[in-house]
Amino acid sequence: DIRERTFIMIKPDGVHRALVGKIIKRFENKGLKLVALKFIWGKEDMFKKHYADLSNRKFFPHLVKYMCRGPVVPMVWEGLHAVEISRVLLGQTCSEECEPGTIRGDFSIQGNRNHPMGRNVIHGSDSVESAKREIDLWFTKDEVVDWKSAMHTWIYE
């Protein structure tokens, strides 16, 4: 589905480390299309909802606190298999195990199987269903823009 959408969020460490432009460029380079973006300092209750499926994990309060530590950049990107392709661009959850060439592999250092930790720069939806839920949580209908890129016919045949 070339209209598939995924929810991506640059985390507070990505913002503080001035990686916003570099990260956005990677999604643009791939051929994904930006359909929504904002710059906000997220509130605790939003991150509790966002990470609701992890709420019974021991690291949950730590994770929510980290996400509240600074501004974030929530975005929606659209394109063929956007969810899966974006997860590949991101790399694994654990930064130490990420391939170079991925966002987490290139821009973050700490985190292994035993201690995944939080400072992994970016969030990306793990399924089409969670993408829909996350997009609805962070954006109103009006904030997600339907448009056709001038490059469309040179990215898809």
Chain positions contacting ligand DAT, by CB under 6 A: 54, 59, 63, 93, 116-118, 120, 123, 126
Q: Which residues ranging from 134 to 153 are in contact with Mg ion (CB under 5 A)?
A: none
Residue 123 bears catalytic tag:
yes
Q: Quote the CA–CA distance of 139 and 74 in Å, as a whole number.
A: 9
Q: Compute the least distance from the CB of residue 154 to ligand DAT, in Å.
A: 31
Q: What is the separation, in whole angstroms, between the first and last Cα of the chain?
A: 13
CA distances from 94 to 29, 54, 87, 143 (A): 24, 16, 13, 32
Would the annotation count 26 as a binding residue? Answer: no
Q: Which residues ranging from 108 to 137 are in contact with Mg ion (CB under 5 A)?
A: 126
Q: In the chain, where do the E strands start and end?
A: 5-10, 33-37, 73-78, 122-124
Q: Quote the CA–CA distance of 149 and 157 in Å, as a whole number.
A: 14
Would the annotation count 59 as a binding residue? Answer: yes
What residue 85 binds from ligand DAT, Mg ion, none (CB within 5 to 8 A, per partner kind)?
Answer: none
Residue nearest to ligand DAT (CB): 93
Would the annotation count 29 as a binding residue? Answer: no
Give the active site residue among 16, 50, 115, 123. 123
Would the annotation count 120 as a binding residue? Answer: yes
For the chain, the 3-state helix, strand and coil shares in percent, each to the nearest 5, are 45, 15, 40
Residues that bind Mg ion (CB under 5 A): 126
Annotated binding residues for ATP, as ranges? Answer: 11, 59, 87, 93, 104, 120
Catalytic amino acids? 123
